[in-house]
Amino acid sequence: MVLPGGRSRGCYLCRQRKIKCDETRPACHQCSDYGRKCPGYADTYTFTFRVQKPQPRKTKTTTTKPATVDAVVPLAKTAKSPIPPRHSNLSTRQISPSWQDQALCFFVNQYRISAGSDGAAGFLDFLPGLMRSPKEDDSLNFALGAVSNLVLYNRIGVKSLYVDARKSYGAALASINTALGSSQEASSDRIFAAVLLLSLFIDVAGERDGVINQHTSGIYHLMTLRGRRNLSDTCSSSLFSWAICHAMTHFLMTGDYQCAGLADLLVIADDSTHWHRAVRVSGKISIFMTMTNQPLEAAGISQSQATNSSAPGISAMGNFQIQLIFQFAADIINEIGQWYRTLPSSWKYPTSERPPSGCNIDEDIFEIHPRGLWAPGYVAIFYCAEIYFYMRLISCLGLIAHSPMLWATGHNSARHELIQKMDFFPKRIGYLLSRLCVLIELILGDIRNAGNDNPDVLVSGQAGGAYMLLGPLWLMSHCPFATEEQVNICHKALGHIGDKLGFGTAKNLIEPASQPSDC
């Protein structure tokens, strides 16, 4: 029986002579006794090096062939002939972030606007605080994933983003419906933020029911449910500012301001900031609309009926109601002037453009130039609320000024003063419309030459500022006091917001729609 034994560990010469090597290092005694220099041992002085080109990994299984040695290089020669670098089959590229991470970063970059030291509330400024304690399966995460994936999909068109956006939207709806079963959970900041984000999803997707956002009623309900909590801290105030702007946009487009139930809350709001003061004035304007709806609906607001002394509905208005309406309107005008006077000094911008003569406007009040991306949209909404108020006031004065039976009710100083200013209000509206065009350019740039812009260049936060312009642009494009050039600017701005910033609703608002009730 043959026993093969182990591999010899002797030096090269002893193995060649087929004698037992004593394995003394660095040189064995057998070679010294033989009178030869020991050539060394195999495990020290030689190694195998295979030169191979990197090849793509094959999908099919192939039979493994014995490896062949392309070169056997003695170590002693490597110092003179350096070994060529070995090419690795492993990729050295970094792993790309997931689509969801990229979508979230892109969304925050385009929409979030930080609060300013000048009283600007900002947009989506609540996200960092709410996301410090993330919950994987809650309404806020689902809603945030839905809108962020949709925003990036509108930009680059990757279908998987659209699918994920729809799945997250459905999951957010289910999670919110579950949370509404508990009043405590329903009034939380995370649920309120989730509903607001879903309303943004509808506008990005362009899926409004006409001009009505399907989540508006839910936002109203949660604002009422939260009550004083709306103003309890910075995060809640940031959420409330978005909700109020959403409510005002809905009001501008439909004439329906359901937040009248929040009148008590708005009255107790801190009026030390111009933003809270604007909210209070806007709330009073909505109350004025509610007060005058019934007589105007009964009398009609057409010019032919406005000058008819026997117009229906006039006789139904008692003297006390008439005095209350005009006194309330005078108070609103005074508060509007006070709001302009108390704006930050950094917003007051010297310009050669002055209100037209006969506009009855203090020149030092209206020359404002708001900074940042949030403030112009906020001021635009306030301008539109003011325009809406003046249009309603013109309708009321048109019905009342020529009614002999109302003059017989006695002298009323507020009514008399407003009737004297009746010719000034259209000029004031025209001036505000011209200032709206300036605000549009502050956010979107010179949209008259929008075709020359680079479509790949996006300004951080610009989409958030543009979002606040949707209501003002719609009202301005349907206002009878707007010039043809101003209407064209609105249409270009809506097209710009829809095409470049990815708002589907903006494109839909260009289509002809019902006019505001006072237009």
User: Quick one: three-class SS letters along 307-343?
Assistant: CCCCCCCCCCCCHHHHHHHHHHHHHHHHHHHHHHHCC
> Residue 79 — pLDDT band, cuts 50, 70, 90?
very low
Query: Do residue 286 and residue 389 come from a single domain?
Result: yes
Q: What is the number of domains present in the chain? A: 3
- 305 within 8 A of 299, measured Cβ to Cβ: yes
The encoded tokens of residue 399 equal 């019905």
Nearest to 383 by CA among 415, 339, 420: 339
CATH code of residue 17: 4.10.240
- 284 within 8 A of 335, measured Cβ to Cβ: yes
Least confident range of 33-42, 44-53, 104-113, 402-411: 44-53
Q: pTM for the full model?
A: 0.72
What does pLDDT average to over the chain? Answer: 75
- For residue 286, is it within any domain? yes
Least confident range of 304-308, 371-375, 481-485: 304-308
The helix or strand, by DSSP H or E, that contains position 153, with its residue range, turns out to be helix 139-156
Q: Which domain, by its residues, includes 151?
A: 101-255
Which residues, 6+ apart, have CB-to-CB distance to 375 below 8 Å?
116, 118, 120, 347
pLDDT of residue 164: 94
pLDDT of 158 higher than 80 = yes
Query: Do residue 312 and residue 444 come from a single domain?
Result: yes
pLDDT of 484 higher than 80 = yes
pLDDT of residue 413: 64
Query: Do residue 244 and residue 141 come from a single domain?
Result: yes
Q: In this structure, what are the phi and psi dihedrals at residue 206, rounded to the nearest 5 degrees?
A: 70, 40
- For residue 46, is it within any domain? no
274: number of Cβ within 10 Å: 23
Give the mean model confidence (pLDDT) for residues 178-204: 91
Last residue of a domain, one of 255, 286, 302: 255
pLDDT of residue 329: 86
pLDDT of 71 higher than 50 = no
DSSP state letter for 63: P
168: number of Cβ within 10 Å: 22
> Residue 236 — pLDDT band, cuts 50, 70, 90?
confident
pLDDT of 171 higher than 80 = yes
- 194 within 8 A of 172, measured Cβ to Cβ: yes
Query: Do residue 220 and residue 153 come from a single domain?
Result: yes
What is the Cα Rg of the chain in Å?
Answer: 38
pLDDT of residue 209: 86
How far, in Å, CA of 379 to CA of 385, rounded? 10
The helix or strand, by DSSP H or E, that contains position 271, with its residue range, turns out to be none
How far, in Å, CA of 143 to CA of 192, rounded? 11
Return the higher-pLDDT residue of 48 and 508.
508
- For residue 159, is it within any domain? yes
Return the higher-pLDDT residue of 56 and 314.
56
Query: Do residue 282 and residue 239 come from a single domain?
Result: no
Query: Do residue 341 and residue 461 come from a single domain?
Result: yes
pLDDT of residue 70: 43
Return the higher-pLDDT residue of 3 and 27.
27
Query: Do residue 245 and residue 295 come from a single domain?
Result: no
pLDDT of residue 44: 47
pLDDT of 374 higher than 90 = no
Query: Do residue 310 and residue 341 come from a single domain?
Result: yes
pLDDT of 25 higher than 90 = no
- 47 within 8 A of 75, measured Cβ to Cβ: yes
Last residue of a domain, one of 209, 231, 255: 255
Least confident range of 202-211, 292-301, 347-356, 401-410: 401-410
pLDDT of residue 142: 94
Tally of CA atoms within 13 A in the half-sphere of 134 that contains its CB: 9
Query: Do residue 342 and residue 372 come from a single domain?
Result: yes
- 349 within 8 A of 96, measured Cβ to Cβ: no
Residue in the structure block whose two tokens are 């020991």? 38
Tally of CA atoms within 13 A in the half-sphere of 272 that contains its CB: 1
pLDDT of 60 higher than 90 = no
pLDDT of residue 74: 44
- For residue 83, is it within any domain? no
CA end-to-end span of the chain: 114
Query: Do residue 248 and residue 346 come from a single domain?
Result: no
pLDDT of residue 348: 72
DSSP state letter for 182: S
Nearest to 160 by CA among 95, 99, 228: 99
pLDDT of 285 higher than 70 = yes
Q: From residue 140, how far is each of 31, 115, 354 by CA, in Å?
A: 82, 21, 47
pLDDT of 266 higher than 50 = yes
pLDDT of 135 higher than 90 = no
Last residue of a domain, one of 208, 232, 255: 255
pLDDT of residue 377: 85
Span 89-118, pLDDT tens digits: 545 455 456 888 888 899 988 888 887 666
Query: Do residue 232 and residue 208 come from a single domain?
Result: yes
- For residue 112, is it within any domain? yes
How far, in Å, CA of 172 to CA of 165, rounded? 10
The encoded tokens of residue 170 equal 């459905």
Give me the residues paired with residue 49 across strands. 71
- For residue 478, is it within any domain? yes
> Residue 128 — pLDDT band, cuts 50, 70, 90?
confident
Phi-psi bin for 470: left (phi > 0), alpha (psi -120 to 50), beta?
Answer: alpha
The encoded tokens of residue 75 equal 């170590």
Return the higher-pLDDT residue of 387 and 47.
387
Determine the number of helices (DSSP H) and then strands (DSSP E) in the chain: 25, 2
The encoded tokens of residue 300 equal 């009609």
CA angle at 459 for the pair 453 and 465, rounded to the nearest 5° = 110
pLDDT of residue 412: 57
> Residue 215 — pLDDT band, cuts 50, 70, 90?
very high
- 176 within 8 A of 227, measured Cβ to Cβ: no
Return the higher-pLDDT residue of 316 and 498.
498
> Residue 45 — pLDDT band, cuts 50, 70, 90?
very low
Question: Within 206-262, where are the H helices?
Answer: 216-226, 234-254
Q: What does the CA dihedral 252, 257, 260, 263 come to, rounded to 10 degrees?
A: -20
- For residue 28, is it within any domain? yes
Least confident range of 116-120, 186-190, 273-277: 116-120
pLDDT of residue 190: 92
pLDDT of residue 23: 81
The encoded tokens of residue 169 equal 């939207």
pLDDT of residue 277: 79
How far, in Å, CA of 279 to CA of 230, rounded? 13
Query: Do residue 241 and residue 333 come from a single domain?
Result: no
- For residue 58, is it within any domain? no
